[in-house]
Amino acid sequence: MITGTRCRAGLMMAVALMAAPALAGPDLVEFPKDYQTQFIVYNTIERPDRTPNQIRFMYVNPAAHRAASASRPAPSGTVLVMEDRAAKLGADGQPERDAAGRMVPTDRVLAIAVMEKRTGWGAGYNAERRNGEWEYAGFAPDGTRRTTTEAQTASCFACHQSRATRDWTFTYVKFLQDSGR
């Protein structure tokens, strides 16, 4: 244990002594453990194509959200959380729907995806991969990391690339635009 700590400390010193540390990789993203009570839900996206059917809850941290507008969407420190929840099924096996026609979620969380933006992040990536200063990470419902290597988050960067003009987000900047902020 002690040896391990020393070893790690030594390694960190070596890294610090080298040129600028590479500000890239899924480990930069901490699991936002209080997101369910502290963050704001700004949208939900149904996934009827998935088994089990799911509803994705989109959260943003309030401090960043207060400062955000469509023209200046996500300040440094923005954390977007996508929480996949299983849909409630009726006796017929089909998802139940509320009066507005929306799928009804259960409390069962299936997966959590996070994207976080901080000044200087992404600098370690080549231009082809880089999505501005965003970093991505996937977590299990208990907060365990599902992405530990840069290879495992390559698809996150690649797919979100199609929304480069919306600050690489599918729903958040669209929400700001649509709500006239």
Residues that bind another protein (CB under 8 A): 42-50, 56, 97, 99-102, 159, 162-166, 170-171, 174-175, 178-179
CB 178 to another protein: min, Å: 6
CA–CA distance, 97 with 84 (Å, rounded to integer):
17
Which 8-state DSSP code applies to residue 50? S
CB 100 to ligand HEC: min, Å: 19
CA–CA distance, 82 with 54 (Å, rounded to integer):
12
- Of 4-12, 93-101, 122-130, 153-161, the window that binds ligand HEC (rule: CB under 6 A) is 153-161
Q: Residues 27 to 46: which contact ligand HEC by CB under 6 A?
A: 45
The CA–CA distances, whole Å, from 89 to 54, 108, 170 equal 10, 12, 27
- DSSP H helices, the chain, are 2-17, 35-38, 62-67, 154-160, 172-178
Asked if 53 interacts with ligand HEC (CB under 6 A), we say no
* Contacts with 105 (C-beta within 8 Å, 6 or more apart), sequence order: 44, 55, 57, 85, 86, 87, 88
Asked if 139 interacts with ligand HEC (CB under 6 A), we say no
Comparison of 24 and 176: residue with beta carbon closer to another protein: 176
Name the residues that contact ligand HEC, by CB under 6 A.
45, 47, 56, 58, 80, 82, 113-115, 136-138, 147, 153, 155-156, 159-160, 169-172
